[in-house]
Amino acid sequence: MRIAFVTETWWPSTDGVVTRLTATLRELKKMGHDLLVIAPRGGDPTFEGIPVRDVPNVSVGFIYGGKPWGMPLPRIGHFIREFNPDLVHVVNPFVIGWGGVLSAVSQARPLVASYHTNIAQYADFYHLGFTKPAIWACLRALHNRADLNLATSETVQQEIIGQGIKNVRVWARGVDLQLFHPSHRSEAMRRRLTDGHPDRLIALSVGRVALEKGLDRLTGLFSSNPDLHLAFVGDGPAKKELQQIFSGTATSFLGTIHGEELAAAYASADVFVFPSTTDTLGLVLLEAMASGLPIIAAESRPTHELTDQSGAGLLFHVDHPETIGQRVSELMHSARRSELSRRARHEAERWGWRVPTTELVDWYHEVLGEQRGSTA
């Protein structure tokens, strides 16, 4: 197949959407498909041999921390027509997504859209809660033009169906099982995570450093764990604010790291902490689990969905963030630690990227068959 992806988020941004999309592109390329990426400007013109066409972007400081949004310009339709794909897949449509959706519809091309980010919920964190009805109306208008919609979990599937989005299936989770592995544990990385104090208990947080991630809740770690060191891996608009909040605590901000260094960071920590209730899946949870890390996560429907099935972690209630420290202490000073670590890796081994990508290709074929059948 020839498949064109139009994505709201792309390099140099790093988040779960980029992680999923790049892993999917690698698998699709291995399968022999011809691919095109259309994305906001800022990245390289190719990704591992796959052409990337870009559009200018715009950002507003008080909206989603100044995230760059690709403009829905007519050139998107030109890129699609020039590539002549069998199918268009719009990833997280919201701004540039209008260009991808309308171009696919106007050119009568089969269209798949995938929902990854709870943009409406994020609005609350930027004092824009009043825009939520308009955001959902926009998302319905975009997604309901697609032949098929994909959600990242069963919980999210039910949520967006409840918001009036139709024909939704679950796009299963995935993780790179070779890259993220307990064998990458490193004394040198422990020193780096702790500013030279590798004997400390290391709690690791990975992801975008932003208000909507609830990272301030992690201050509750220290009261019950005086020997703990918290390491943030990632970057974002709230970094300076978080540095002030954690001033005087044993906390490191390592910025963004990738690849083998990131794998070593996971494997070298003792526990993974995830305070967000806004993520639709949390691929970093899967990366931590594949690395053999037990997880302590904020209670939400997606985290329940993951931990209830796997038994790989403990949850805390966000209304009582001090309990996250109690959960870590409970875990670290009991025999459950090694058991949760084993369960984490065991659960992750079910979720290599090949399986969800093969399922995705099957859906593409189904959409192509339905489209061609309806126009025959």
Locate the domains of the chain by residue range. Answer: 2-174+353-375, 182-348
Nearest to 98 by CA among 74, 82, 78: 74
Evaluate whether 122 touches 64 at the Cβ level (below 8 Å): yes
How many beta carbons lie within 10 A of that of residue 260, not counting itself? 11
As a whole number of Å, the CA-based R_g of the chain is 21
Predicted confidence pLDDT, tens digits, the chain (376 residues) = 999 999 999 998 878 899 999 999 999 999 999 999 999 999 999 999 999 999 998 876 545 555 678 999 999 999 999 999 999 999 999 999 999 999 999 999 999 999 998 777 666 655 566 788 999 999 999 999 999 999 998 889 999 999 999 999 999 889 999 999 999 999 999 999 999 999 999 999 999 898 889 999 999 999 999 999 999 999 988 999 999 999 999 999 999 999 999 999 999 999 999 999 888 677 899 999 999 999 999 998 888 888 877 778 889 998 898 899 999 998 887 777 888 889 999 989 988 999 999 999 999 999 999 765 555 4
CB environment 360-369: b (16+ within 10 A), e (fewer): bbebbeebee
Which tens digit of pLDDT belongs to each residue from 267-276? 999 999 999 9
Tell me whether the CATH fold assigned to 2-174+353-375 matches the one assigned to 182-348. yes
Cβ neighbours for 11, distance < 8 A, ≥ 6 positions apart: 18, 39, 42, 43, 44, 47
Is 0.85 topped by the overall pTM? no
Q: Is residue 24 within 8 Å of residue 357, measured between CB atoms?
A: yes
CATH code: domain 2-174+353-375 is 3.40.50.2000
Residue 201 and residue 229 in contact, taking contact as beta carbons nearer than 8 Å: yes
Residues 104 and 261: their CA atoms lie apart, in Å, by 39
Q: How far is CA 180 from CA 201, 285, 319, in A?
A: 20, 11, 32
Dist. CA 22–CA 29, nearest whole Å: 11
Instruction: Name the CATH superfamily, with its identifier, for domain 182-348.
Output: Glycogen Phosphorylase B; (3.40.50.2000)
- Selection from 118, 180, 183, 125 nearest residue 153 by Cα: 118
**From CA 100, how far away is CA 79, in angstroms rounded?**
10
